[in-house]
Amino acid sequence: MTLAAQALSAAELDTYNVWELRRQWRTFLQLSKNLAETLARWHESFPDIQQLDLSKVLPNLETFSVELDHRFSQIDGMLNDKAPSSIPKPISLAVDRQGLSGLTHFQRPALAVTKSQIERIEAISRSLFDCVQDIKGYARENAKSPVEKKVPRGFTFDPDRFKAALTVMAAQWVA
């Protein structure tokens, strides 16, 4: 168990607010772990693309990186109790076909891997933004119309209730 997971487990027991939002915090922890792994994989592919002029092959890379920087600064601001100024929109990298034709057979797969890693970072950052927005309560403030929560019909499995029921049954059996 990582240090962050241990700290989260301790905070769940110590703080009511963390307990109430434990699923969101667990999701945040998992997304952060996924982001760190993706960034590490992306970093490993740097030598393969170092000789490429990415601005020619990926023409909107600068706009893409500005959006990611803005998104991460918004996440940091929300974690420091500042409301987000805008909601992130999905953005994808465009590939210039003419620039792609000038690449060698080894450079094309390296570019494809890099592009997929960057797009994965974008998707994770969007999920992180949504998760932090939910944790801090900004999602409810920014909602334009109240969303009706659908109550599922029939049997739904709730692990917390199941654990409580097992505890009660075990206590009765021991008594």
pLDDT digits (tens, 9 = 90+) for 115-174: 889 899 999 999 999 999 988 888 655 544 444 445 556 667 777 777 888 888 889 889
Contact 128, 42 (CB under 8 A): no
Confidence of residue 45 (pLDDT cuts 50, 70, 90): confident
Tell me 33's DSSP state.
H
What tokens were used for 58? 């990926």
Number of domains into which the chain is organized? 1
129 Cβ partners below 8 Å, 6+ apart?
71, 74, 75, 78, 84, 88
> pTM of the predicted model, to two decimals?
0.70
Task: Work out the average pLDDT over 84-109.
Answer: 85
**83: containing domain:** 3-174
Residue 101: is its pLDDT beyond 50? yes
What tokens were used for 50? 């170092």
